[in-house]
Amino acid sequence: MPVVSAPYEINADDVFVDLQDVFGVPLHLKCEGFNLAGSVKLKAALEMVRAAERDGLLTPGSVIVESSSGNLGIALSMIAAHRGYGFLCVTDSRCNRAARRLMESFGAEVRVVTQPAGERGLLGARLDMVHALCEEDPRYVWLNQYANPNNWQAHYRSTAPAVAAEFPELDVLFVGAGTGGTLMGCARWFREQDRHVTIVAVDSVGSVTFGGPALPRLIPGLGAGVRPPLLDSSLVDDVVMVPEQDTLQSCHALARRGFLFGGSTGTVVSGALRWLAGREDAAALTTVAIAPDQGERYLDTVYDPSWVEHHFGSPMSWDDAADRDPRSYELARDM
């Protein structure tokens, strides 16, 4: 049994779930939520904090400030508590109550933005608040997950090599698009390999990341109201846009088989099913999807029948759709 001295050292990075029995397609999930922060964001958070310490940006008395819809904020609040920094998270009304309470349990301050900044949406308003905070107090240090190269480098060094080690004959990798850190880190690493792997980005309908129109989104995690500076679309082979109801369908279908995953994972799984549905050779492909999060912090939203029915209609009406042959999923590819 390993003995650890830091909470972020508790992590199972080699867990994969075979979804063949759930959806009838050759798809494996790399589960990134088996750490004390509960999501893939722990990797980027730790890499950015360590880099800021090496560069002398974080010193005793510093307060980390970051914009987050939840998961990165939780990871940073845990790291800041252990390493002796303050942490202030700027989020918006889509952030789950459970995520806010987790951050506050670690001693973080959480400020919630409720009014969008025009076409830049709630993310734009969050960024405006971060800039204002940093201007008024020199203690604040913004790590800037949206442009910080250590975000994608964390996945270049760890996530992509771990997938390749488990699946040396990998054909397709599905990665959710949020800040672009996981996507770009994996895409760059596999681009440098001798054997080509198709990189498919999965995004939420309403996100502007790949040029689509900005629309209201209720499930935090993937998607963006401002195009991520980290994104290099030339490294992406294909893009699948997923409506939020399809995200819910995937989450609920997985839960009925005993797998409770978060909204970001539901989106990635739905996107993978859509992409595979359009391939005649799908059964012969070796495919992996990155599962960013676990489902516990979505109990008040994705898995709450009242919340779901209020925003998307009764889950009872989804049974046929969620259980149907995934080959019948409509293909959605928008570059």
Helices (H) and strands (E) in the chain, counts: 12, 10
Separation of alpha carbons 297 and 184, rounded Å:
26
Report the distance separating Cα 221 and Cα 95, nearest Å. 9
**DSSP code per residue over 75-108:** HHHHHHHHHT-EEEEEEETTS-HHHHHHHHHTT-
Could you give phi then psi for residue 144, rounded to 5 degrees?
Answer: 55, 75
pLDDT at 2 over 80: no
What mean pLDDT, rounded, does the chain reach? Answer: 89
CB 4 within 8 A of CB 10: yes
* Residues 119-152: tens digit of each pLDDT: 788 888 899 999 999 998 999 999 999 999 999 9
pLDDT, tens only, 147-170: 999 999 999 999 999 999 999 999
Residues 243 and 205 sit within 8 Å (Cβ to Cβ): yes
User: Mind listing the domains of the chain with CATH numbers?
Assistant: 7-34+151-328 (3.40.50.1100), 41-142 (3.40.50.1100)
As a whole number of angstroms, the distance between CA 95 and CA 77 comes to: 15
Chain segment 22-71, per-residue pLDDT in tens: 999 999 999 999 999 999 999 999 999 999 999 999 999 999 999 998 89
Q: How many CB atoms lie within 10 A of CB 194?
A: 4
Q: How much is the pTM?
A: 0.89
Q: In which band, very low, low, confident or very high, does the pLDDT at 1 lie, cut at 50, 70 and 90?
A: low
pLDDT higher at 96 or 84: 84
pLDDT greater than 80 at residue 318: no
Region 197-203: what's the mean pLDDT? Answer: 96
Percent of the chain having pLDDT more than 70?
93
pLDDT value of residue 322: 43
Cα(218)–Cα(93) distance, rounded to whole angstroms?
Answer: 9
Mean pLDDT of 290-301: 92
Checking if the pLDDT of 293 tops 80, the result is yes
Q: Measured between alpha carbons, how far is 232 from 256 in angstroms, rounded to an integer?
A: 37
- For residue 30, the SS3 value is strand
> What pLDDT score does 317 carry?
62
